[in-house]
Amino acid sequence: MFCPFCRHPDSRVIDSRTSDDGMSIRRRRQCPECGRRFSTTETASLSVVKRNGVLEPFSREKVVAGVRKACQGRPVTDTDLALLAQRVEEAIRATGASQIDANDIGLAILAPLRELDEVAYLRFASVYQAFESLDDFESAITQLRHEHGDDRLRGSSPTS
Ligand SMILES: [Zn+2]
Protein backbone atom coordinates (compact mmCIF):
# COMPACT_ATOMS: atom_id res chain seq x y z
CA MET A 1 0.00 0.00 0.00
CA PHE A 2 1.65 3.23 -1.22
CA CYS A 3 1.60 6.25 1.04
CA PRO A 4 -0.90 8.64 -0.63
CA PHE A 5 1.26 11.65 0.36
CA CYS A 6 4.84 10.73 -0.54
CA ARG A 7 4.24 7.48 -2.51
CA HIS A 8 6.53 5.56 -0.19
CA PRO A 9 5.84 1.88 -1.08
CA ASP A 10 5.42 0.70 2.50
CA SER A 11 3.24 1.56 5.48
CA ARG A 12 2.74 0.40 9.02
CA VAL A 13 -0.66 -0.70 10.36
CA ILE A 14 -1.33 1.08 13.64
CA ASP A 15 -4.98 0.07 14.11
CA SER A 16 -7.45 -2.43 12.57
CA ARG A 17 -11.18 -2.37 13.01
CA THR A 18 -13.81 -4.70 11.59
CA SER A 19 -16.92 -2.94 10.27
CA ASP A 20 -20.25 -3.55 12.01
CA ASP A 21 -21.46 -5.98 9.36
CA GLY A 22 -18.16 -7.86 9.54
CA MET A 23 -17.65 -7.60 5.80
CA SER A 24 -14.77 -5.16 5.73
CA ILE A 25 -11.74 -4.16 7.73
CA ARG A 26 -10.66 -0.57 8.22
CA ARG A 27 -6.98 -0.08 8.87
CA ARG A 28 -5.26 3.00 10.18
CA ARG A 29 -1.77 3.20 8.67
CA GLN A 30 1.29 5.33 9.15
CA CYS A 31 3.96 6.01 6.59
CA PRO A 32 7.46 5.31 7.97
CA GLU A 33 8.92 7.79 5.49
CA CYS A 34 6.88 10.98 6.02
CA GLY A 35 5.11 9.94 9.21
CA ARG A 36 1.64 10.88 7.94
CA ARG A 37 -1.41 8.76 8.70
CA PHE A 38 -4.12 7.46 6.40
CA SER A 39 -6.89 4.82 6.38
CA THR A 40 -7.64 1.91 4.07
CA THR A 41 -10.70 -0.28 3.83
CA GLU A 42 -10.34 -3.89 2.79
CA THR A 43 -13.25 -5.93 1.51
CA ALA A 44 -13.18 -9.50 0.28
CA SER A 45 -14.90 -9.28 -3.07
CA LEU A 46 -17.41 -11.89 -4.16
CA SER A 47 -18.52 -11.96 -7.78
CA VAL A 48 -21.24 -13.85 -9.52
CA VAL A 49 -20.55 -15.31 -12.96
CA LYS A 50 -23.74 -14.98 -14.96
CA ARG A 51 -24.73 -17.44 -17.64
CA ASN A 52 -23.44 -15.08 -20.35
CA GLY A 53 -20.05 -14.90 -18.62
CA VAL A 54 -20.52 -11.38 -17.24
CA LEU A 55 -19.35 -10.77 -13.67
CA GLU A 56 -21.50 -8.86 -11.22
CA PRO A 57 -21.09 -8.29 -7.48
CA PHE A 58 -22.87 -10.78 -5.24
CA SER A 59 -26.15 -9.30 -4.01
CA ARG A 60 -28.18 -10.52 -1.05
CA GLU A 61 -31.16 -8.64 -2.47
CA LYS A 62 -31.09 -10.88 -5.53
CA VAL A 63 -31.02 -13.99 -3.36
CA VAL A 64 -34.07 -12.67 -1.48
CA ALA A 65 -35.83 -11.84 -4.75
CA GLY A 66 -35.11 -15.34 -6.06
CA VAL A 67 -36.51 -17.05 -2.97
CA ARG A 68 -39.45 -14.74 -2.23
CA LYS A 69 -41.68 -16.25 -4.90
CA ALA A 70 -41.25 -19.76 -3.49
CA CYS A 71 -42.22 -18.40 -0.06
CA GLN A 72 -45.54 -16.87 -1.17
CA GLY A 73 -48.30 -17.72 1.28
CA ARG A 74 -45.83 -19.34 3.67
CA PRO A 75 -45.12 -18.11 7.20
CA VAL A 76 -41.81 -16.58 6.16
CA THR A 77 -40.99 -13.00 7.15
CA ASP A 78 -38.71 -10.46 5.49
CA THR A 79 -36.34 -10.94 8.42
CA ASP A 80 -36.25 -14.69 7.72
CA LEU A 81 -35.40 -13.95 4.09
CA ALA A 82 -32.68 -11.45 5.00
CA LEU A 83 -31.17 -13.98 7.39
CA LEU A 84 -31.33 -16.68 4.73
CA ALA A 85 -29.52 -14.44 2.24
CA GLN A 86 -26.88 -13.74 4.88
CA ARG A 87 -26.38 -17.47 5.49
CA VAL A 88 -26.09 -18.08 1.75
CA GLU A 89 -23.42 -15.39 1.46
CA GLU A 90 -21.54 -16.72 4.48
CA ALA A 91 -21.64 -20.28 3.11
CA ILE A 92 -20.23 -19.12 -0.23
CA ARG A 93 -17.55 -16.97 1.40
CA ALA A 94 -16.63 -19.86 3.69
CA THR A 95 -15.53 -21.84 0.63
CA GLY A 96 -12.86 -19.19 0.06
CA ALA A 97 -14.04 -18.63 -3.51
CA SER A 98 -14.05 -15.09 -4.87
CA GLN A 99 -16.35 -16.07 -7.75
CA ILE A 100 -19.41 -18.26 -7.96
CA ASP A 101 -21.55 -19.38 -10.88
CA ALA A 102 -25.06 -17.93 -10.71
CA ASN A 103 -26.32 -21.49 -10.91
CA ASP A 104 -24.36 -22.56 -7.82
CA ILE A 105 -26.05 -19.87 -5.75
CA GLY A 106 -29.26 -21.87 -6.14
CA LEU A 107 -27.44 -24.84 -4.67
CA ALA A 108 -26.26 -22.76 -1.70
CA ILE A 109 -29.85 -21.60 -1.13
CA LEU A 110 -31.34 -25.11 -0.85
CA ALA A 111 -30.02 -26.13 2.59
CA PRO A 112 -30.93 -22.97 4.56
CA LEU A 113 -34.28 -22.74 2.76
CA ARG A 114 -35.11 -26.32 3.74
CA GLU A 115 -34.51 -25.42 7.38
CA LEU A 116 -36.67 -22.33 7.01
CA ASP A 117 -39.72 -23.81 5.30
CA GLU A 118 -40.03 -27.19 3.63
CA VAL A 119 -42.87 -26.24 1.31
CA ALA A 120 -40.93 -23.23 0.03
CA TYR A 121 -37.92 -25.50 -0.30
CA LEU A 122 -39.85 -27.97 -2.46
CA ARG A 123 -41.16 -25.14 -4.65
CA PHE A 124 -37.71 -23.67 -5.06
CA ALA A 125 -36.06 -27.04 -5.67
CA SER A 126 -38.68 -27.97 -8.24
CA VAL A 127 -37.73 -24.93 -10.31
CA TYR A 128 -34.00 -24.94 -9.61
CA GLN A 129 -33.51 -28.66 -10.09
CA ALA A 130 -36.03 -28.72 -12.93
CA PHE A 131 -38.36 -31.34 -11.49
CA GLU A 132 -40.13 -32.92 -14.45
CA SER A 133 -42.57 -35.31 -12.90
CA LEU A 134 -44.40 -36.25 -9.73
CA ASP A 135 -41.66 -38.82 -9.15
CA ASP A 136 -39.16 -36.00 -8.66
CA PHE A 137 -41.39 -34.43 -6.01
CA GLU A 138 -41.97 -37.80 -4.43
CA SER A 139 -38.27 -38.57 -4.07
CA ALA A 140 -37.59 -35.09 -2.66
CA ILE A 141 -40.40 -35.56 -0.13
CA THR A 142 -39.20 -39.06 0.69
CA GLN A 143 -35.79 -37.63 1.38
CA LEU A 144 -37.27 -35.00 3.72
CA ARG A 145 -39.30 -37.69 5.52
CA HIS A 146 -36.24 -39.87 5.80
CA GLU A 147 -34.27 -37.05 7.38
CA HIS A 148 -37.09 -36.33 9.83
CA GLY A 149 -36.90 -39.99 10.81
CA ASP A 150 -33.18 -39.61 11.43
CA ASP A 151 -33.87 -36.64 13.70
CA ARG A 152 -36.30 -38.65 15.78
CA LEU A 153 -33.80 -41.50 16.06
CA ARG A 154 -31.08 -39.12 17.19
CA GLY A 155 -33.45 -37.67 19.77
CA SER A 156 -34.48 -40.97 21.32
CA SER A 157 -31.34 -43.03 21.15
CA PRO A 158 -28.56 -42.15 23.59
CA THR A 159 -26.13 -44.52 21.85
CA SER A 160 -26.07 -42.80 18.43
ZN1 LIG B 1 4.64 9.05 3.25
pLDDT in tens, 85-119: 999 999 998 888 888 998 889 889 999 999 999 99
Ligand 1 centroid – CA 2 distance (Å): 8
pLDDT value of position 88 = 94
Ligand 1 centroid – CA 11 distance (Å): 8
pLDDT in tens, 23-75: 678 899 999 999 999 998 877 788 899 888 888 888 899 999 999 999 999 99
Asked if residues 32 and 83 have their Cβ atoms less than 8 Å apart, the reply is: no
Whole-angstrom distance, CA of residue 2 vs CA of residue 13? 12
Ligand 1 centroid – CA 18 distance (Å): 24
pLDDT band at 124 (very low <50, low <70, confident <90, very high): very high
Residue 140, phi-psi category: left (phi > 0), alpha (psi -120 to 50), beta (remainder): alpha
CA distances from 81 to 17, 58, 117 (A): 28, 16, 11
Alpha-helix residue ranges (DSSP H) falling in the chain: 60-68, 78-94, 102-116, 118-128, 134-156
Ligand 1 centroid – CA 43 distance (Å): 23
Question: What pTM does this model have?
Answer: 0.65
